[in-house]
Structure 1
Amino acid sequence: MTQGYDADLALLINGSWKLGEGRDLFPVVDPARGETIAEVPLATPADLDEALDAAEKGFALWRATPVEQRAAVLHKAAALMRERSEAIARLLTQEQGKPLAEARGEVAGSAGLFDWAAEEASRIYGRVLVRPTGQRSMVLKQPVGPVAAFSPWNFPVYLMAKKLAPALAVGCSVIAKPPEETPGCCGALMRCLTDAGLPAGVAQLVHGVPDAVSRHLIASPVIRKVSFTGSIPVGKHLMRLAADGVKRITMELGGHAPVLVFDDCDLEKTLDIVVPQKFRNAGQVCVSPTRFFVQEAIYDRFIDGFAARTAGVKTGHGLDADTKMGPLANVRRPDAIAALVEDAAAKGARVMAGGHRGNGGFFFEPTLLADVPDNADIMNNEPFGPVAVAAPFTTLEDAIGKANRLPYGLAAFAFTENMRQANLLGDAIESGMVGINTFAISVPDAPFGGIKDSGFGSEGGVEGMESYLATKAVHMA
């Protein structure tokens, strides 16, 4: 395993890469070892003002660029991402911890987002309304303006691409503020765009103290839209900031995904699907299957099968070829997960697998808790870690009630071979996305977003592209 970390950590403002140069620095840590591997420079207020000025000028240039030229840049960026996939994936694994195979998949998926957005941009249609002879009324779709895009550390490349691709495709300029924990892989993505010919000022990359950066950018009249993926408390805070300037916002916030497993499912096949998904990215996935509600007739067999498979999930450094699950992303997470597991056990849950911190780094064992009561903290708060919680249910109505009990509504899943039952579940579950017999719910051409406390608006699909467009009616007589 190569131990080297090779990343150019810098800010990108108006086409210029800016290094330390007296700026404050933030340590970048390899979560598998708990060791600092680099330092990333943080933007100053003057840097942010320069980024805002560049984004304003970049928007004027980019919106006037023909859609075919914009698409060509995005296609070229996607091609460069594929050419540089291995290098980007290694940076991603070293900074975030996920296994290299998952990192490669993230980079490939990100390239796909740029290709899809490049093609879809040519299909932004308006309307011509029926009017008397000699009169015209048209409905136009135009780019909303400069965008402030805030993305998290769990899928740092993919979620930054999910904001950049549609915004750039329709003609917006962007100031991207990715997480300081994963600057190398995000910088590598931005270099693909600049090397593909994206004009200076159209996209900026800034790092900094999150609250200070968000307050500065959102307060500026230059910013017309805010896109955020992250926690519910931070999302609500940014919504309040955006309200002062009546900014358009898209909020993809947290969830606590229920999984309803019915006794008519193919149990072994279902277990083979759900266990790898639960421990993908160490459970640090906003749509991670977490609350497993299993019909009583198969509950014990499900628990036994899940526990056996969980015990076989090998943890280790993401660059090791046989690693199936890496560490948690930062030093705070193992203690937070341990507290949730201890609380559940104290309230009657059975620890069927795992349940302990790992040795070294920020590891926590893949964990299964059975018979988890509703009053356990982990049944009510998203763990964002490698813990599955399970409880039995009796009827369809009982299952739906358990799924809808919480104020979250990002993703939900169900496993059943009864298609009538599947139709009812699709209608009754309160969630922005429902996967039935599948976890494949994040794809370029489909909307991705939640309801209730899990946010509103969509990223992905034509709905996501619409969020970067303003509607204008033009009447002529």
Structure 2
Amino acid sequence: MSTSSHPVDPSKAIEHTQLLIDGEFVDALDGKTFETLNPATGAVITQVAEGGAADIDRAVQAARRAYDHGPWPRMKPDERAAAIWRLGDLLLADAEEIGRLETLDQGKPYSQAVGGYVPAAAALFHYMSGFATKLEGSTIPISAPGRYHTYTQREALGVVGLIVPWNFPLNIAAWKLAPALAAGNTVVIKPAEATPLSTLRLGQLCLEAGIPPGVVNVVAGYGSTAGQRLAEHPLVDKVSFTGSTATGRRILEAAKGNLKRVTLELGGKSANIIFADADIEAAIAGSTDGIFNNAGQACAAGSRLYVHDDVYDEVVAGMAEKARQIKVGDGFEPDTEIGPLVSLEHFDRVSGYLDIGRGEGEVVTGGARVGEQGYFIEPTIFAGAAQDSRIVKEEIFGPVVVASRFRDTDEVIAMANDTRYGLSSGVWTRNVSTAHTVASRIQAGNVWVNTYGVFDAAMPFGGVKESGWGREMGHEVMNDYTDVKTVCVNIDG
């Protein structure tokens, strides 16, 4: 395929493929590298340094020195805020290059990366920079005998390990890095082995923004080695992980050694509910985007569709028509709307669920591979599957939605809550009472009403049940990157 029609040259050399430790790009101690592949073609993009346990050790030691002895935690709050703001500015200035890396490595459309995801990441740094000057405590009147001045203050935790997934590499790195830095922590980031390139580039931008060496370290490598060591490391005070629920359990097990703080943003099987009184055209459009965006590789994707019996046929037919019109292709092609799945391994996993789904329900549309090169799958709608079927119960993490009928509010809330997950949900209705009733009764950390998949730096995001602990973004996230110290002073002492 010629690159002449591309808005950017995908074949341009990759600048940063080494580990970033203590302000320097270095090889792994054992010299190992691994291939990172273009999911649109299966071709090798470049070789990346493969960090192991020993590399995590030296990155953690660098972060520990930077926290215990370096300037970052001791900077004036406005100085730290300015550096984080500059990082947001540098992201915007670097949008074409970092967007190119996202498309090459993860597959998402270049137009979306440059026009949407990079600006969103920059906005996150801009928003979170303000918290560096707003970490406030409170004075507390106490009733103990005597006279006391008692107050609290918020402090950084220390060294934080950030384990980032492959579905939104840049943005979820920003979700974690920005509040960690605003609080004055130092960090070691372990990007997903499938998508390390944009995070390594982000590390370079941190240095350019004036964030001191050792404050941000990036170690690419595998979860079973680098990720395991980061989660268990005795000098790491907290680990924040986004990924599967199964891996989240392993993170917890590894973290128990020094009882480090843990934030987990895990899997989802989100219910998206359309009532008969909804704006059906808007519900069809929003629900289609809510499952097929990013090729369905989103933990918050609306993968369980519950539609009132009165409008079920209309909604399913409308979504099927929109699904058939979606342009699936290489992210560098200007008209591509969704790209490939991230890897051959994941492609095989989702393809396995398509086989399962054919035996559990009816294929309304899709259900097949697109082309013979790359890891592309058609936007797929299943219907008629039982509530206890695997395609309804298990997270597929691909462009696959399962449609089911309901007749009343109690029934659909019971169906929606019949899952071990509790990340996100959608409600489509013109009835204000219905909207608030469902929002209050549904077991999910996020509820979108008459929309789906709205994210903003000011909006907390996270789940309940087996979808995780803690929150990303908004002011709530600062509770997960700071500790509270209570000081009690005897005034008469």
Smaller-chain TM-score bracket: over 0.9
Q: Is the 8 A contact 1:20 1:40 kept in 2?
A: no
Distance between the aligned counterparts of 1:277 and 1:430, measured in 2?
19
Which whole-Å CA distance do the structure 2 matches of 1:463 and 1:416 have between them?
29
Letter in 1 for 2:78: E
Question: Distance in 1 between the 2:330 and 2:99 partners?
Answer: 14
SS of the residue 1:336 aligns to: helix
Does 2:51 correspond to 1:43?
A: yes
Q: Is 1:6 the equivalent of 2:13? A: yes
Letter in 2 for 1:316: G
State the partner residue of 1:91. Answer: 101
Please tell me whether residue 76 in structure 1 is matched to residue 86 in structure 2: yes
Q: Which amino acid aligns with 1:352?
A: V
Aligned to 1:314: 327
Query: How far, CA to CA, are the matches of 1:440 and 1:279 in structure 2?
Result: 11
Is 1:114–1:161's contact at 8 Å kept on the other side of the alignment? yes
1:100 counterpart = 2:110:
yes
Deviation at 1:20, TM superposition (A): 6.1
Number of the residue aligned with 1:17: 25
Partners of 1:119 and 1:439 in 2: CA distance: 28
Alignment pair present for 1:162 and 2:175: yes
Query: Which whole-Å CA distance do the structure 2 matches of 1:322 and 1:441 have between them?
Result: 23
Quote the residue 1:173 is aligned against.
Answer: 186
CA contact (8 A) 2:138 2:151 kept: yes
Residue 43 of structure 1: how far off its partner (Å):
1.6
Structure 2 alignment gaps of length 5 or more: 1-5
CA distance in 2, matches of 1:362, 1:278: 18
> What is the Cα deviation at residue 406 of structure 1?
0.5
Aligned counterpart in structure 2 of residue 287 of structure 1, from 300, 305, 319: 300
**Cα distance in 1 between the residues matched to 2:318 and 2:151:** 60
Pick from 204, 217, 225 the counterpart of residue 191 of structure 1. 204
2:478 paired with 1:469: no
Matching of residues 184-223 of structure 1 within 5 Å = 184-223=197-236
* Residue of structure 2 equivalent to 1:114: 125
Cα distance in structure 1, aligned partners of 2:406 and 2:111: 36
Counterpart among 241, 253, 272 of residue 254 in structure 2: 241
Q: Which runs of 5 or more structure 1 residues have no equivalent in the other structure?
A: none
Residue 222 of structure 1: how far off its partner (Å): 1.3
Does 1:444 find its partner at 2:457?
Answer: yes
Give 1:293 shift.
Answer: 0.4
| Partners of 1:220 and 1:305 in 2: CA distance | 51
CA contact (8 A) 2:192 2:222 kept: no
Query: How far apart, CA to CA, are the structure 1 residues paired with 2:328 and 2:236?
Result: 43
TM-score (norm 1): 0.97
Separation of aligned partners in 2, 1:453 and 1:150: 18
Indicate if the aligned counterparts of 1:353 and 1:367 stay in contact, CA closer than 8 A: yes
What is the 5 A alignment of 1:331-370? 331-347=344-360, 349-359=361-371, 360-370=373-383
* 2:3 match: none
Structure 1 residues 88 and 140, CA gap change in structure 2 (3 angstroms)? same
> Which residue number in structure 1 is paired with residue 397 of structure 2?
384
Counterpart-to-counterpart distance in 2, 1:50 and 1:12 = 11
Q: For residues 140 and 37 of structure 1, do their structure 2 counterparts lie closer, same or farther at Cα, with a shift above 3 Å needed? A: same
State the Cα distance separating 1:440 from its structure 2 match. Answer: 4.2
In 2: Cα distance, 1:370 partner to 1:383 partner: 15
From 57, 61, 69, the counterpart of 1:53: 61
8 Å CA contact retained: 1:279, 1:386: yes
Is contact 2:191–2:221 with CA below 8 Å preserved after alignment?
Answer: no
Where 1:324 maps in the other structure, the secondary structure is coil
Identity %: 34
CA–CA separation in structure 2 for the residues paired with 1:381 and 1:29: 27
Q: Deviations over 1:335-354 (max 9, x none)?
A: 2222222222213x111111
- CA–CA distance in 2 between the matches of 1:59 and 1:126? 21
Equivalent residue runs for 1:220-235 within 5 Å:
220-235=233-248
Deviation, 1:241, is 1.2
Q: Return the alpha-carbon distance in structure 2 between the equivalents of residues 407 and 22 of structure 1.
A: 41
Instruction: Give 1:134 shift.
Output: 5.2
Q: Which runs of 4+ in 1 moved over 4 A?
A: 131-134
Q: Which amino acid aligns with 1:92?
A: E
1:57-114 deviation digits (Å, cap 9, x = unpaired): 1113221111111111111111010001011101100110011122121111111111
Q: Give, as a single letter, the amino acid of the residue that structure 2 aligns with 1:309.
A: K
* TM-score computed with the length of structure 2 as normaliser: 0.94
Deviations 1:388-433 (A, max 9, x none): 1101001001110110000100001110000000010111000011
Q: 1 CA distance for matches of 2:52 and 2:306?
A: 48
Q: How big is the shift at 1:182?
A: 1.6
Cα RMSD for the two superposed structures: 1.4
2:283 matched residue in structure 1: 270
Change (3 A) 1:475 1:302: same
Partner in structure 1 of residue 137 of structure 2: 126
Distance (whole Å) between structure 1 residues aligned to residue 453 and residue 357 of structure 2 = 30
Aligned residues: 476
| Contact 2:18-2:26 at 8 Å conserved across structures | yes
Corresponding residue SS for 2:234: coil
